[in-house]
Amino acid sequence: MNPASQPTSRTASSIHAGNYPAPLWRRAAALLYDGLFVIALLMLATLILLPFNGGEALPQQGLIAWLYQGYLLFWVGAYFSLFWCIGGQTPGMKVWHIRVLMPTTAGYRTAVLRFIGGLCSVLLAGIPFWFAQADAEKRSLIDRWLGTVVTRIPKP
């Protein structure tokens, strides 16, 4: 096929065609698996700060505590966003054979918005995730909003 005749950007419907949507239980299992990596990442991020505080625990109240929480949130967001942009999969998603497919025009902005949307979904007791159960294409509200698709990939 002539490369010039291929579309230059993928839409959600074109990236969804021929792919099987990932079931909610696989998404949850991947998230739990990634949670282990996130815990390790947060431990390393905290370890980086310890020399600046004399090796003591950081204050749990006040401005420093808020800055520390933002610092940790940055690292969690970077973990998910970078993996989604680089290969469409976090380590947990690789284990459970699922992948995020994004339109070719999507980049880090879409990945960061996907993380923020996922964080909001968790804070709302996962209600936007449950939307995928009722959706015909099994896409969450965040996937619909950003034009992304979470699909199952065949085992090698």
Q: What is the pLDDT of residue 105?
A: 64
Q: Which range among 68-77, 103-112, 139-148 has the greatest average pLDDT? A: 68-77
**Cα–Cα–Cα angle for 39, 118, 60, rounded to 5 degrees:** 45
pLDDT digits (tens, 9 = 90+) for 70-98: 999 999 999 999 999 998 999 999 999 99
Backbone angles phi, psi at 150, to 5 degrees: -105, 115
Q: What is the pLDDT of residue 8?
A: 34
Sheet bearing 20-21, strands edge to edge: 20-21, 149-152, 98-101
Burial of residue 24 (number of CB atoms within 10 Å: 0-12, 13-18, 19+): middle
Rounded percentage of the chain residues whose pLDDT exceeds 90: 49
